[in-house]
Amino acid sequence: MSEGNGVPRDQVFATEKAEIPDFKFNSEVANVFDDMVSRSVPFYGEMQRMSAELAGDYMVAGTNVYDLGCSTGTSMLLYGANAPKGTRFIGIDDSQDMLDKCRQKMTAAGFEHELELRVADLNEGAQIENASLVSLVLTLQFIRPLHREKLVRDIANGMNDNGCLILVEKVLGEDSLFNRQFIKYYYDYKARVGYSELEIRQKREALENVLIPYKLLENRELLLRSGFRYVDTFFKWYNFCGMVAVK
């Protein structure tokens, strides 16, 4: 079955699995990713729209814009519409399946900026240079905690002064009391957008050791001690948040 935009509906966890392996961004996921992410992340479209609006104030001709964990390129397409001529885009992901989808989608949309897609593991840091904007949308949460500090430092170090980082993450509540509530209401949200109890349970198990959220304030501290001068939250819905940081 296909959604109106031609992306097949996410049914990755719709049938009962004997064993639940760790979640992977493989070809099965890449094929349905745009449906999966837009239904799994509340206000995904609005967060992307806001990110692109903010990005438009920072992207500078002659500099690089990086999208780390770019998946199918949704952010780059939106940023591209607000970027000056002469901006160079670099999408990085460790899933070749995602980058193949990304290339197809950007070509079909007639993306008009220079574009490089790189396969790389962000657990090893990132090669960032002459950057006016870096985007980490729902990606830092998949980087092992041990490697997060170095990645964020690499970003800050490779960024020009007044460069901007957009960070969208799933987060923990600041207190376990609220965290339980937020998670409960998040699963209610998933049921409202059509995921069955089985799908919600199996996906939760698959993500358990793979997606490791920090608290919003932990992310804020990480950004401040890594070289960003200004940090603010531009979006928050229970256990999802969008942050903006400027070097």
Give the interface with ligand SAM as residue ranges (CB under 6 A): 25, 37, 69-71, 74-75, 93-95, 98, 121-123, 137-139, 142-143
Nearer to ligand SAM, 75 or 87 (CB): 75
163 φψ region: left (φ > 0), alpha (ψ -120 to 50), beta (else): beta
117 φψ region: left (φ > 0), alpha (ψ -120 to 50), beta (else): beta
Q: Which residue is nearest to ligand SAM (CB)?
A: 69
Nearest distance from residue 176's CB to ligand SAM, in Å?
Answer: 25
What is the signed CA dihedral for 87, 92, 95, 96, rounded to 10 degrees? 50
Nearer to ligand SAM, 73 or 163 (CB): 73
Nearest distance from residue 120's CB to ligand SAM, in Å?
Answer: 6
Longest dimension (CA), the chain: 52
- What is the per-residue DSSP string for 99-123? HHHHHHHHHHTT--SEEEEEE--GG
Nearer to ligand SAM, 24 or 180 (CB): 24
Nearer to ligand SAM, 181 or 233 (CB): 233
Nearer to ligand SAM, 95 or 202 (CB): 95
Nearest distance from residue 135's CB to ligand SAM, in Å?
Answer: 7
CA dist 22 and 158 (Å) reads: 32
- Contact (Cβ atoms closer than 8 angstroms) between residue 247 and residue 227: yes
Nearest distance from residue 98's CB to ligand SAM, in Å?
Answer: 4
Nearest distance from residue 184's CB to ligand SAM, in Å?
Answer: 22
